[in-house]
């Protein structure tokens, strides 16, 4: 096994990786910006290196600084976590060429699956149903109009190199196409340095369902599916497993086809294949070539430590798991606790946490990097921790999550906790009668 791993990230995912490393007996190196010197991931790691100022491009996105930290500490591998450089093919390639193990798939696969157009072609080639739309990027409004004539309105304009709702525009009628085409291209260029966009059929009542995989040279296994349909502006807020809307026949088909595609492309590591689901049918959306924020719900129902397995695959090239080893039990729900004020349009709420009491109890887990007296800075993502609760069934999982949310005390900042209580108590959530647009349309405040 590796002797030392550098974690090229911060916050709760860095803490999560450090814990997995410690259980493997691996020494850890935390990197941090100047404002993160007192952070939990720095406190827990065996060593730490300051790699720059608070601006991400000067620290967590600074490849030369990260490589210098590897040289300084003698780390053998880099774990990128999620976000930042985790899906940067150039970073993975540079790391590998330096003789350092990148804990993730090859740079070639990151590049292929990170390009939404190329990923769609690959998925189609290996038998996954894909969303009707353009075969590749579209160059002009005229080209867009020709494609839309075949598939009909509404359509979705999407950035080829994007994600998180950036460079994504819904076009409901022909009068909107010119303005929204230009806006989507400009956003794509601004956020991803690539103004290529493509068109897909827009779904009116979709669910967002994804499949967790672990794959090595020997085999690919799945850890079943997650339902991530509680979203705000394409950002997930609550996730659960299993999906309450899939029947067993559809579930088996979804899992089998996903595993076959992942095997065919020669994927190694942890990954997630995401789908749109509507009217009993699923359609390939994208593949995330990294560990997901919501991975803990799959861990608690299957008993598999995804991050530890990810590290094992990176070291050995193989997965020790067989599909028959993975038997899910019960139902799990994750709430992403963000430092935001939902009553003020989800305005970020940085500040000092004066009082911090985190819930515990039977089948209750909190993944985070917060503590009493810590400061939430305005420079990074607003996610501060995640609450994961498991029940024997969905009803018990909801009740346990509500109980745990009631126990949370975070004084000094605003959070999404009260909103999540309202969502979990809402009849539409209890009945699983909602889609990805629900939070944007429902008035909770």
Tens of pLDDT along 79-108? 999 999 999 999 999 999 999 999 999 999
Same domain membership, residue 194 and residue 213? no
CA distances to 44, 214, 234 from 320, in Å: 28, 10, 34
Q: What is the pLDDT of residue 106?
A: 98
pLDDT of residue 162 exceeding 80: no
Bridge partners for 158 per DSSP: 198
Classify residue 389: in a domain, yes or no: yes
Q: How far apart are CA 412 and CA 100, in angstroms?
A: 41
Q: What is the pLDDT of residue 160?
A: 87
pTM of the predicted protein model = 0.92
Classify residue 154: in a domain, yes or no: yes
CATH label of the domain that carries residue 197: 3.30.1490.20
Same domain membership, residue 97 and residue 61? yes
Rounded to 5°, angle at Cα 99 from 94 and 105: 60
Same domain membership, residue 298 and residue 149? no
Q: What is the DSSP string of 283-350?
A: EEEEEE-S--TTHHHHHHHH---HHHHHHHHHHHSS----GGG----SEEEEEEEESEEGGGTSEE--
Residue 391's pLDDT band (boundaries 50, 70, 90)? very high
Same domain membership, residue 245 and residue 273? yes
Same domain membership, residue 238 and residue 322? yes
Q: What is the mean pLDDT of the chain?
A: 96
Classify residue 165: in a domain, yes or no: yes
Residue 161's pLDDT band (boundaries 50, 70, 90)? confident
DSSP collapsed to 3 states, 84-125: CCCCCHHHHHHHHHCCCEECCCCHHHHHHHHCHHHHHHHHHH
Same domain membership, residue 364 and residue 255? yes
Count structural domains, the chain.
3
Classify residue 125: in a domain, yes or no: no
Lowest mean pLDDT among 110-119, 157-166, 418-427: 157-166
Where is the domain boundary, 143, 175, 201?
A: 201
Token digits of residue 433: 């009668």
Classify residue 127: in a domain, yes or no: no
Classify residue 148: in a domain, yes or no: yes
Q: What is the pLDDT of residue 166?
A: 80
Clarify whether 290 is annotated catalytic: yes
Same domain membership, residue 259 and residue 136? no
Where is the domain boundary, 170, 201, 232?
A: 201
Classify residue 272: in a domain, yes or no: yes
Residue 192's pLDDT band (boundaries 50, 70, 90)? confident
CATH label of the domain that carries residue 82: 3.40.50.20
Same domain membership, residue 212 and residue 85? no
Same domain membership, residue 224 and residue 189? no
Same domain membership, residue 245 and residue 360? yes
Residue 203 neighbours by CB under 8 Å, 6+ apart: 131, 276, 278
Range of the domain at 13: 4-103
Residue 443's pLDDT band (boundaries 50, 70, 90)? confident
Same domain membership, residue 67 and residue 38? yes
CATH label of the domain that carries residue 320: 3.30.470.20
> What is the average pLDDT across 402-406?
98
Q: What is the pLDDT of residue 167?
A: 85
Same domain membership, residue 270 and residue 212? yes
Percent of the chain residues past pLDDT 70, beyond the cut: 100
- Exposure of 231 in the CB half-sphere (CA atoms within 13 A): 17
Classify residue 121: in a domain, yes or no: no
Tens of pLDDT along 322-360? 999 999 999 999 999 999 999 999 999 999 999 999 999
Instruction: Determine how many CB atoms are found less than 10 A away from the CB of residue 279.
Output: 8
pLDDT of residue 163 exceeding 90: no
Residue 400 neighbours by CB under 8 Å, 6+ apart: 361, 362, 363, 364, 389, 390, 391
Where is the domain boundary, 201, 218, 252?
A: 201
Annotated catalytic residue, options 16, 232, 290, 336: 290
């Amino acid at each position: 096994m590796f002797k030392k791993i550098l974690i090229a990230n911060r916050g709760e995912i860095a803490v999560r990786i450090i814990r997995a490393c410690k259980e493997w007996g691996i020494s850890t190196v935390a990197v941090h910006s100047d404002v993160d010197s007192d952070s939990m991931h720095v406190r827990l790691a065996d060593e730490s290196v300051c790699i720059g100022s608070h601006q991400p491009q000067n620290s967590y996105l600074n490849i030369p600084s990260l490589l210098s930290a590897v040289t300084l500490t003698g780390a053998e591998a880099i774990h990128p976590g999620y976000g930042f450089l985790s899906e940067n093919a150039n970073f993975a390639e540079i790391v590998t060429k330096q003789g350092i193990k990148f804990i993730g798939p090859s740079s070639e696969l990151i590049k292929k699956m990170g390009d939404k157009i190329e990923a769609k072609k690959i998925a189609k080639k290996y038998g996954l149903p894909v969303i009707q739309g353009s075969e590749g990027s579209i160059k002009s409004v005229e080209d867009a109009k020709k494609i839309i004539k075949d598939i009909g309105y509404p359509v979705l304009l999407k950035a080829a190199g994007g994600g998180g709702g950036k460079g994504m525009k819904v076009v409901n009628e022909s009068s909107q196409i010119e303005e929204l085409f230009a806006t989507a291209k400009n956003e794509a260029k601004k956020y991803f340095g690539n103004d290529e966009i493509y068109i897909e059929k827009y779904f009116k009542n979709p669910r967002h369902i994804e499949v967790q995989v672990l794959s090595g040279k020997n085999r690919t296994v799945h850890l079943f599916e997650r339902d991530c349909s509680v979203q705000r502006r394409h950002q997930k807020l609550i996730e659960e497993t299993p999906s309450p809307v899939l029947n067993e026949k559809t579930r088996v088909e979804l899992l089998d086809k996903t595993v076959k595609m992942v095997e065919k492309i020669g994927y190694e590591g942890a990954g997630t294949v995401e789908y749109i689901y509507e009217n009993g049918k699923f359609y390939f959306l994208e593949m995330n070539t990294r560990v997901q924020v919501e991975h803990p719900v799959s861990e608690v129902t299957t008993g598999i430590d995804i991050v530890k397995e990810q590290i094992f695959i990176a070291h050995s090239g193989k997965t020790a798991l067989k599909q028959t080893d993975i038997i899910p039990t019960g139902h799990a729900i994750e709430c992403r606790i963000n430092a935001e004020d939902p009553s003020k349009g989800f305005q970020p709420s940085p500040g000092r946490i004066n009082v911090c009491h985190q819930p515990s109890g039977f089948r209750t887990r909190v993944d985070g990097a917060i503590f009493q007296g810590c400061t939430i800075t305005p420079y990074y993502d607003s996610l501060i921790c995640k609450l994961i609760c498991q029940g024997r069934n969905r009803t018990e999982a909801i009740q346990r999550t509500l109980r745990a949310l009631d126990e949370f005390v975070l004084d000094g900042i605003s959070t999404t906790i009260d909103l999540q209580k309202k969502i979990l108590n809402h009849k539409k959530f209890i009945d699983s009668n909602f889609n990805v647009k629900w939070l944007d349309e429902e008035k909770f405040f």
